[in-house]
Amino acid sequence: MERIAPKYRPVYDQEIKNLFLQRSFIFFWLGIVFFPLFSLLDSFAAREHFAVFLAYRVCLAFILLLFLIILHRVNGHLLTLSFTLIAYLLGGLTITLMVLKTGGYSSAYYVGLLLISVGGFALLPLTIGQAAFAGFCLYCVYAVPVFMFSRPTADNLKIFFTNSFFFLAIIMVSLVQCKQETKARMRKFKLNMNLKSLNEDLSFYTHNLEDEVGKRVKKIEESELHYKELYENILDLIVLIDSNAKILVANQHFYSTIGRRPQTVIGMSLLNIVHADNLSMVVDGMLPRLFQGEAVKDFQFVIQGQGERLLDVECNAKKILKEGRELGFQLIIRDITERKKMEKKLLESYRLIDRSRTTAILALAKLAEFRDKDTGCHLERIREYSKILAAELAKQPSYQHYITREYIDDIYLSSILHDIGKVGIPDYILLKPGKLTMEEYETMKCHSVYGGDALCESEKQTAGQSFLTIGKQIAYYHHEKWDGSGYPNGLAGPKIPLSARIVALADAYDALTSQRCYKSAISHERAKEIIIRDAGIHFDPDVVEAFLAQEHAFQQARLRIIIH
């Protein structure tokens, strides 16, 4: 039996209380609507009792409506549980009265009790104990009056025994159902809590990185203010050159920066202090514009400072005129070496954030893969295949505006989350070496819903669209088929999200060409034949064409990942 950690128990209990309250409202409304509606059956099956039976049904509907009004005002869990049980038994008692009126032991109205039993157990989130108690009470509501007020004969007792047998059998089946649904709810809750915990951890680490980046950005801003102050106090490098780029005059800060005396600098070409790698950029890019009278702004290059030290500088320059006469060209050169270093560190910080996000997503996806050691590097292959297919589809006119660079990056990240829902599948099914039974296969199919729901909840914590949006689509629909025969929703054609269609082929190709404990790997050529055969049936024909165009890239990616 699944167990909830003590720290999560209050949250789980509250979720069940809220679910029970929601389902109880549906339960009451079904009784209010369908009990009077079934009087149509009375008009055919028990015409002579029609008026009495209609009165029974209307009275019960009125009582249920009264309960519903009270619950809307109170919303108490204990009161909801009590009212629901009372309504359940009152419904059984109403049917029992009809049974007594129409033959007792042999009455066909006995079937109504079975409908109430099955409907209540299927709709309400009951525990095994609650379901067993309700089922036993409902049986007593039927059995005791019938046994007491109907004439017993040998044939009647046989009918009563048969009815009781089927009644109890249905209750036992319902108890098994309640047990499985309770386990499924617990598994889903635990999965949500695990994902929430992972999200909190990821947020913690990325928040720290964001703080560090913020500090560095602040330093850069402070540095910019500092440079501005230096400029206002003429502490930047100020140089005046002629039309041949020879230095006419400079400020003291310029001389001390390059480590030369004024006598040796005057008449020297500005190009003598420009680093060799930047000479062509200055000669061909900055000076022609300046000499043609155009103002130069924020032109960056490297100069050689004192002691052969290289300095990153930013230059603003313009022609200087006095009374219409050209005096020269003034260059205000600012040392931005430190700023360049900070920009480099900031870029490294952003790259670190991106790597952290990628690592966290892969770790999240590995939750499912680590339980099945037989899958090898499945996730790494899937993301490579998906990226190859998306990039190829982007070349087609019908997709080039939809599949952007960001889309390709997101599907590369999100594709590895396609089977995250398998963490909710029991080990005896997930790790079974042989063929699954029909019931086991139905349980296995639930992994797409589990994964999609979990990523949907995570997506709600982010503002706007993110890689989780594509991840949610992939998790939900990567087992849908082009002809509509897939699951969970039986979507067909373009109604299946493009991301899911891409991953569907990538996942199928990897499954075909990989060895598992229950099958051998097949060759690339054989896998290609199967994919071509299923174009328009299982796979989107456009995605199949993209695969055929890049099949060599598929083989290279597969071999590369196997080698590493």
Q: How far is CA 385 from CA 320, 369, 497, 539, in A?
A: 61, 18, 17, 15
Q: Give residue-wise pLDDT tens across range 104-139.
A: 877 878 788 878 877 777 778 888 888 888 888 888
Q: Is there a single domain that holds both residue 375 and residue 324? A: no
What was the pLDDT predicted at 230?
44
Query: Among residues 302, 320, 335, which one ends one of the domains?
Result: 335
What was the pLDDT predicted at 2?
58
pLDDT, mean of residues 197-213: 65
- CATH number of the domain encompassing residue 325: 3.30.450.20
Q: Is there a single domain that holds both residue 177 and residue 41? A: yes
Q: State what percent of residues in the chain have pLDDT above 70.
A: 86
Which string of DSSP letters, residue by residue, matches 75-138? --HHHHHHHHHHHHHHHHHHHHHHHHHTTGGG-TTHHHHHHHHHHHHHHS---HHHHHHHHHHH
More confident of the two residues 340 and 210: 340
Q: Is there a single domain that holds both residue 322 and residue 394? A: no
Say if 214 falls within a structural domain: no
What was the pLDDT predicted at 227?
43
Q: Is there a single domain that holds both residue 371 and residue 316? A: no
**Spatial contact of 247 and 268, defined as CB atoms under 8 Å apart:** yes
Say if 549 falls within a structural domain: yes
More confident of the two residues 374 and 339: 339
What pLDDT band is residue 190 in, cutting at 50, 70 and 90? Answer: confident
Most confident of 68-77, 146-155, 383-392: 383-392
What was the pLDDT predicted at 439?
92
Question: Could you tell me the residue range of the domain that residue 255 belongs to?
Answer: 234-335
Say if 353 falls within a structural domain: no
pLDDT, mean of residues 475-502: 95
Least confident of 32-41, 101-110, 288-297: 101-110
Q: How far is CA 190 from CA 20, 180, 435, 508, in A?
A: 19, 15, 28, 29
What pLDDT band is residue 225 in, cutting at 50, 70 and 90? Answer: low
Q: Give residue-wise pLDDT tens across range 232-286.
A: 456 688 888 888 888 888 888 788 888 788 878 888 888 888 888 888 888 888 8
pLDDT, mean of residues 402-419: 91
Say if 220 falls within a structural domain: no
Cis-peptide into 488, omega within 30 deg = yes
Query: Among residues 335, 370, 403, which one ends one of the domains?
Result: 335
Backbone angles phi, psi at 247, to 5 degrees: -75, 125
The two three-digit tokens of residue 63, written as one number: 């009582």
Average pLDDT over all residues of the chain = 82
Say if 200 falls within a structural domain: no
pLDDT at 205 > cutoff 80: no
What pLDDT band is residue 228 in, cutting at 50, 70 and 90? Answer: very low
Say if 87 falls within a structural domain: yes
Q: Is there a single domain that holds both residue 400 and residue 510? A: yes
Say if 291 falls within a structural domain: yes
Count of domains forming the chain:
3
What was the pLDDT predicted at 372?
55
| CA–CA dist 193, 185 (Å, integer) | 12
- CATH number of the domain encompassing residue 477: 1.10.3210.10
Q: Is there a single domain that holds both residue 328 and residue 385? A: no
pLDDT, mean of residues 389-395: 96
| CA–CA dist 88, 30 (Å, integer) | 12
| CA–CA dist 8, 6 (Å, integer) | 5
Q: Is there a single domain that holds both residue 161 and residue 239? A: no
Evaluate if pTM is beyond 0.85.
no
Backbone angles phi, psi at 267, to 5 degrees: 90, -10
Q: How far is CA 336 from CA 224, 236, 302, 373, 405, in A?
A: 9, 11, 10, 53, 32
Least confident of 270-284, 330-344, 353-367, 419-433: 353-367
What pLDDT band is residue 552 in, cutting at 50, 70 and 90? Answer: very high
More confident of the two residues 449 and 233: 449
Q: Residue 2, SS3?
A: coil
Say if 340 falls within a structural domain: no
Q: Is there a single domain that holds both residue 405 and residue 479? A: yes
More confident of the two residues 192 and 536: 536
Q: Is there a single domain that holds both residue 135 and residue 20? A: yes
Q: Is there a single domain that holds both residue 476 and residue 423? A: yes
Q: Is there a single domain that holds both residue 121 and residue 47? A: yes
pLDDT at 340 > cutoff 80: no
pLDDT, mean of residues 366-375: 57
Query: Among residues 335, 368, 395, which one ends one of the domains?
Result: 335
**Spatial contact of 251 and 231, defined as CB atoms under 8 Å apart:** no
Least confident of 6-10, 88-92, 325-329, 503-507: 6-10
Q: Is there a single domain that holds both residue 317 and residue 371? A: no
